[in-house]
Amino acid sequence: MALSDVKCRNARPVSKLVKLSDGGGLQLWVQPTGSRLWRLAYRFGGKQKLLALGSYPLISLAEAREARDTAKRLLLRGIDPAQERKSQKVSAENTFRSIAEDYVDKLKKEGRADRTITKVKWLLDFAYPTFGDKSVREIDLATILATLRSVEVRGRYESARRLRSTIGSVFRYAIATARADVDPTIALRGALVCPTVTPRAAVTDPKALGGLLRAINAFDGQPTTRAALRLMALMFPRPGELRAAVWDEFDFETSVWSIPEGRMKMRRPHRVPLSRQAVSVLTSLREISGGGSLLFPSVRSGSRPISDNTLNAALRRMGYGKEEATAHGFRATASTLLNECGNWHPDAIERQLAHIENNGVRRAYARAEHWEERVKMMQWWADYLDELERKSTLVISIGRRGKPAVHTPSRPSTLNPTATAHQTEMNLQPDDQLGVGHPATVVGQKRTSQ
């Protein structure tokens, strides 16, 4: 006798399993625990089999009958319904999206930086709409190329190249886990426009650097931003390493900043000797940073650091164009001038920049940290910056012949809304050469573009 919805709803558990038949092999099993489960009994290949169809009332009587009829149609075609379900499940597990998510989980377990994980996810979002739900075995080269072209046509050449690399990484992971046979992206090497690599702008002329330092000290924006720029010049870390720095990483007794490997690009812990000038900036910063764990909390949330663009935006506000100076450029500035002075071993400079030796054999054996030399070098560098800042000024008489040297940036500075050119801070002081009491003004030297 066929079941009715009322009979299914009123089925009550007893001390043993009760099977209520609806015909065609469809049964409602009433468990002693009270659960009611749909089962389909059928024969395939001369064997009695059972297929689970879900639980009642989550799966209604009508839905259970529809599932039974679908299974019957498969049997008529000589297909085992249970095996077909397994195949569908395997197919779902082998979609590009599911494998990509597994690949991202693998990167997390390997301790990759949050920033790296975020970039990988961002790139994969370009691929999901086109072939995210397709089996990796069904994704062909033309489909991938069309997706890459859709990014490239917007002028985002580097993003398109990185997307190809990321898709390739997912396919190679699928091959390693026996879910794919080939990596179609290999054939796409050379198919995309190669972007022109532009090094991050940096000030490497000593006189121009002195002018930049004076501009930083005269910056009238957030005091924490000014402190961050001064620390970038003094310690030249990667901007992200400084932005997310916390006070617990600083030991003021030994004057060392210890950055954990989880925050380093190369996944190795790094130490930075603190010069007297850096300690002074940090001490002043602690009084104004809000009392939280972060050195540079966001103005919107004390639990998050300032954004990636904060320091570069400050440089733009001071009148420095993106082709003239960047926050990351302080690293190139330090590397260039420290190497040119000839006082320090190149390996000590590279260690302080947290660079890793490209030669694998040399990297395996050359493990010296050059710590003592780096301590001396960082103090020398801070003193050198002070000297450049002092030497970048001209002392001239007001009202006498001669014009002050005024730095004209690529665009007007916003420090003074009425100014047409950026001029560093003005100080009145006596000029001994002109006679005691004669007022004088101090202005920045003209900066040359880098």
- Per the residue annotation, which of 238, 263, 351, 447 is the catalytic one? 238
331 catalytically annotated: yes
Residue 272 near residue 282, CB atoms below 8 Å: no
- Per the omega criterion (within 30 degrees of 0), is the bond before 57 cis? yes
The one catalytic residue in 226, 328, 351, 422 is 328
Q: Identify which of 96, 116, 121 has the alpha carbon closest to the alpha carbon of residue 174.
A: 96
142 CB-near residues (< 8 Å, 6+ apart): none
DSSP letter, residue 446: P
Q: Is 370 a catalytic residue?
A: no
In contact, 338 and 240? CB cutoff 8 Å: no
Element counts in the chain: helices (H) and strands (E): 16, 9
Residue among 39, 265, 267, 438 flagged as catalytic = 265
Give the amino acid at 203.
V
> Is 172 among the residues known to form the active site?
no
Helical axes 206-217 vs 223-235, angle rounded to 10°: 150
Q: What is the CB-side half-sphere exposure of residue 284 using CA atoms within 13 A?
A: 13
Measured distance CA(285)–CA(277) in Å, rounded: 12
Cα–Cα distance for residue pair 163/126, rounded to 1 Å: 8
- Helix, strand or coil for residue 77? coil
CA distance 198 to 359: 25
- Considering Cα of 195, then 196, then 198, then 199, what sign does the dihedral take? positive
Contact (CB, 8 A) for 68 and 40: yes
Length of the chain in terms of residues written: 450
Catalytic pick among 355, 370, 376, 438: 355
263 CB contacts (<8 Å, ≥6 apart)? 113, 240, 241, 244
Q: At what angle do helices 371-391 and 329-341 cross, to 10 degrees?
A: 100
What is the C-alpha to C-alpha distance for residues 82 and 89, in angstroms, rounded to an integer?
11
- One of 164, 331, 351, 374 is an active-site residue; which one? 331
Which of 109, 365, 367, 403 is catalytic? The answer is 365
- Is 265 an active-site residue? yes
Residue 174 Cα distances to 82, 92, 163, 188, 201, angstroms: 25, 14, 17, 18, 40
User: Cα–Cα distance between 393 and 51 in angstroms, integer?
Assistant: 86
- Alpha-carbon distance values, 29 to 48, 102, 187, 327 (Å): 17, 37, 55, 69
* Residues recognised as catalytic: 238, 265, 328, 331, 355, 365
